[in-house]
Amino acid sequence: MGQPVASRGRAATPTVGKAMLNKYARAFFTRVLTPFAAFLIRRGVSPDTVTLIGTAGVVAGALVFYPMGEFFWGTVVITLFVFSDLVDGNMARQLGRSSRWGAFLDSTLDRVADGAIFGGFALWYAGAGDDDVLCAVSIFCLASGQVVSYTKARGESIGLPVAVNGLVERAERLVVSLVAAGFAGLHKFGVPGIQYLLPVALWIVAVGSLVTLVQRVVTVRREAAEADAAAQDSQGTEAAK
């Protein structure tokens, strides 16, 4: 969600598979959503407004439906509002308003949306879902996702590239969790055994997030050591002149 800017702080090169999926999926949805984005612009709606509404929809879908165990309908609502991520960016490009503010708003509200989704899972397992272990796993997914994002942002803020493709980054966390939740919700429509998909997905996300966090910490430690060594060599060279 939010308007894209030329630099989004993405130093790591994505895998070919991820790059192709992102390229073709975004190209398709851009063509589909461009007329709708143009319609909103003509009505005086700003990209920031779409970003805020999209996030509000995701939060509502997660915190209203998931705690009630309505995983199918909650995922449907969330998925509909997730498309605002493409609509607001499309609007920003049409208006020529790509900005640092848009990127900041985008990243900030993404964290809010992520927290709501895993918070919704945690509320379900803390309540009617009655599973303390899965409640804890959901909370770990929420917290680890925030920390994984922070490690990259913090590393880049001190001048490091943080050049690593983590095992489970934000896109993977959301796709695995939402797809599993949506299918798990079909249990209420009479599909047997499918409710176990969500617990499996949460464990996968939790373990993957932990691995990703370790990958990023190790990468930042190595890059920091290399940068410090290069700075010391530079100072030594200057002193010798």
**Residue 114, annotated as binding a ligand:** no
Q: Is the pLDDT of residue 19 over 90?
A: no
Q: What is the pLDDT of residue 241?
A: 64
Summarised one tens digit per residue, pLDDT across range 157-182 is: 999 999 987 899 888 999 999 999 99
88 carries a ligand binding annotation: yes
> Residue 177 — φ and ψ, nearest 5°?
-70, -45
Spatial distance between the Cα atoms of 182 and 90, rounded to a whole number of angstroms: 27
Q: Which of 110, 130, 131, 132 is catalytic?
A: 110
What is d(CA 147, CA 176) in angstroms, rounded to the nearest whole number? 19
How far is 80 from 57, CA to CA, in rounded Å? 8
pTM of the model: 0.83
Where does residue 173 rank: exposed (0-12), middle (13-18), buried (19+ CB within 10 A)? buried
End-to-end CA distance of the chain: 51
87 is in an annotated binding site: no
Q: What is the pLDDT of residue 240?
A: 65
Residue 166's pLDDT is 85
Q: Give CA–CA dist 143/137, Å, rounded.
A: 10
The Cα–Cα gap between 142 and 122 comes to 9
Tell me: the pLDDT tens digits for 181-229? 999 999 999 999 999 999 999 999 999 999 999 999 999 999 999 998 9
What per-residue confidence (pLDDT) applies to 20? 38
pLDDT tens figures, 138-153: 999 999 999 999 999 9
- Reported as a single tens digit per residue, the pLDDT across 83-129 is 887 888 888 888 887 778 888 898 899 999 999 999 999 999 999 99
- 51 labelled ligand-binding: yes
pLDDT of residue 193: 93
Q: Is 99 annotated as a binding residue?
A: yes
Q: Which residues 6+ apart lie within 8 Å of 15 measured at CB?
A: 165
Is 110 one of the annotated active-site residues of the chain? yes
Task: Please report the pLDDT score of residue 15 as a whole number.
Answer: 40
